[in-house]
Amino acid sequence: MTVDAYGRRLDALRAALRRAPDGSGAPLGLAKRTSNLFRDRSEGAKRRLDLSAFTHVNRVDAAAGTVEVEGLATYETLVDATLPHGVMPAVVPQLKTITVGGAVAGVGIEATSFRHGLAHDTMLALDVLLPRGDIVTCTPYNEHRDLFYGFANSYGTLGYALRLVMRTIPVQPYVRVEHARYGSADAFFDALALACDGDADFVDGVVFGGDTLVLSTGRFAARAERVSDYTYEHIYYRSLLEKRVDYLSTYGYLWRWDTDWFWCSKNLGAQHPLLRRLYGRSRLNSRTYTRLMRLNSRLGLTRGLARWRGVHTESVIQDVDVPIAEAGRFLEFLLREIGVLPIWVCPIRVPGSQGSFTLYPVRPGELYVNFGFWDVVESRAAHPVGYYNRLIEREVLRCGGIKSLYSDVYMTWEEFEGAYGMGAYAGLKARYDPGGEMLGLYEKCVGRG
């Protein structure tokens, strides 16, 4: 955990880059064993860059409220390193396998986001490996501030994060969670907005149906009357309907959604008591489910079963952010047109002092609501490819919202350009990737490159 070791890794990387062949014009790509992108890709030949050495937490400075971490370190590694110092990353995305660099190059969110913004809003500095092999340090104040504010949501099209300095917050050993049930969307979103202006440390919720919405507010606690365990036999999201008050260890709270991939483990049989025991505690996690999902995608098992049943299916795996004023109408649209349940709800408010990130333009100080919904929509009628996802995209744009790009994207160029600041992005590409060594953001996300 030393900065000197990071310097040696940089020297080794520079030497490897000097030895690497030019790739005959193939675009640059990252060699990774795991990914939290959820879209099928039609990738051509790429020059694969191995950054697997950059997985370390170099320094935790609890007094300063910062941690220095390398880009390929997972949040599981980062949490393990920070909790013994009495701090945690200010925003910890829900799945253990998400890397810190990936959460910044993409969009990372969790129940602290109502106070601290998204993962990239907690970033203080980063070192970026540019497409031609240069390494630049970016801060909000230096000559590379355009890349600092342009890196978020760039998805490996401007460079790769090698080192980041991130903000931390102090923790206590436990989290006391209150679950409040509401019978209407209006009452639920009013309560959510009120909670975001209160003293809670964590705020999120789940929509189980139009008349069953649960708001969860968490607060750090020094002591616990009892501590629930959601890593094996008990399932966290079900507890929201069963318990008014719950206590978790801080570690258990941060990973409460990972054991069952929120609730998506049901699609892999992992919520059946017998199969759950066959999986075993060590395999009940997002890492296992992701592997199984990718295997299913390669083999086409679910698609084949759907054809045999005579139904048409479309994967709808999305996280979208809409202003709080539009949240009730957007939820009504989801229930009416899409029908995927449950739905995760997480408020976001970027601190007013934070600068604006070019490619994910949410307005600082304004409360947004993230809706996360992940399932397959079935219908007897055939629809054009991406039919339901296109409905969602149009509604998000109508609401003045924005969607994450980790999954299927079907926007036209005009829609994409307007939503994600492609004019400013063109300037970033011209400065930091003038030779087009990496794919463009539209080509990668919509063209599935």
pLDDT tens, position by position, 313-328? 999 999 999 999 999 9
Sign of CA dihedral 73, 287, 368, 87: negative
Which domain CATH number covers 288?
A: 3.40.462
Number of domain units in the chain: 2
Quote the CA–CA distance of 366 and 373 in Å, as a whole number.
23
Residue 299, domain member (yes or no) = yes
Quote the CA–CA distance of 409 and 344 in Å, as a whole number.
20
- If asked whether residues 369 and 226 sit together in one domain, one would say yes
> What is the extent of the structural domain holding 252?
174-403
Residue 346 CB neighbour total at 10 angstroms: 24
Residue 105, domain member (yes or no) = yes
Q: 441 phi and psi, to 5 degrees?
A: -65, -45
- If asked whether residues 212 and 306 sit together in one domain, one would say yes
DSSP states of 58-119: EEEETTTTEEEEETT-BHHHHHHHHGGGTEEESS--S-TT-BHHHHHHTT---TTHHHH-SG
Which domain CATH number covers 70?
A: 3.30.465.10
What's the confidence (pLDDT) of residue 311?
86
- If asked whether residues 179 and 130 sit together in one domain, one would say no
Residue 436, domain member (yes or no) = no
Residue 186, domain member (yes or no) = yes
Residue 409, domain member (yes or no) = no
Q: Among residues of the chain, what percentage have pLDDT more than 70?
A: 92
Residue bearing the bigger pLDDT, 275 or 356: 275
DSSP at 53: T
- If asked whether residues 22 and 108 sit together in one domain, one would say yes
- If asked whether residues 300 and 286 sit together in one domain, one would say yes
Among the residue ranges 189-203, 252-266, 340-354, the one predicted with the least confidence is 340-354
DSSP states of 208-243: EETTEEEEEEEEEES--S-----SSSS-HHHHHHH-
What's the confidence (pLDDT) of residue 293?
83
CB of 399 within 8 A of CB of 366? no
Q: Which residues contact 154 (CB under 8 A, 6 or more apart)?
A: 105, 359, 425, 428, 441
- If asked whether residues 153 and 12 sit together in one domain, one would say yes
- If asked whether residues 272 and 147 sit together in one domain, one would say no
Last residue of a domain, one of 119, 138, 171: 171
pLDDT beyond 80 at 46: no
CB of 90 within 8 A of CB of 280? no
Quote the CA–CA distance of 384 and 403 in Å, as a whole number.
21
Mean pLDDT of the chain: 92
Residue 273, domain member (yes or no) = yes
Question: DSSP E strands: which ranges in 325-433?
Answer: 343-348, 368-379, 402-403
Give residue-wise pLDDT tens across range 101-136.
999 999 999 999 999 999 999 999 999 999 988 999
Element (H, E) at 413: helix 413-420
CB of 256 within 8 A of CB of 248? yes
Quote the CA–CA distance of 128 and 148 in Å, as a whole number.
9
Give residue-wise pLDDT tens across range 66-98.
999 999 999 999 999 999 999 999 999 999 999
Per-position b or e across 141-179, b if 16+ CB within 10 A of its CB? eeebeebbbbbbbbbbbbbbbbbbbbbbbebeebbbbeb
- If asked whether residues 132 and 188 sit together in one domain, one would say no
- If asked whether residues 223 and 335 sit together in one domain, one would say yes
Q: 325 phi and psi, to 5 degrees?
A: -65, -25
CB of 111 within 8 A of CB of 178? no
Give residue-wise pLDDT tens across range 347-385.
999 997 767 899 999 999 999 999 999 999 999 889 999
Last residue of a domain, one of 135, 156, 171: 171
- If asked whether residues 164 and 289 sit together in one domain, one would say no
Quote the CA–CA distance of 91 and 346 in Å, as a whole number.
12
Last residue of a domain, one of 138, 171, 204: 171
Written as six digits, the tokens of 221 are: 């606690």
> Does the predicted model carry a pTM greater than 0.85?
yes
Quote the CA–CA distance of 231 and 281 in Å, as a whole number.
7
pLDDT-derived band of residue 308, with 50, 70 and 90 as boundaries?
A: confident
Sign of CA dihedral 8, 9, 15, 18: negative
Residue 430, domain member (yes or no) = no
What's the confidence (pLDDT) of residue 42?
56
- If asked whether residues 300 and 387 sit together in one domain, one would say yes
List the end-to-end C-alpha distance of the chain, in Å, as a whole number: 35
Residue 443, domain member (yes or no) = no
- If asked whether residues 149 and 19 sit together in one domain, one would say yes
Give residue-wise pLDDT tens across range 138-187.
999 999 999 999 999 999 999 999 999 999 999 999 999 999 999 999 99
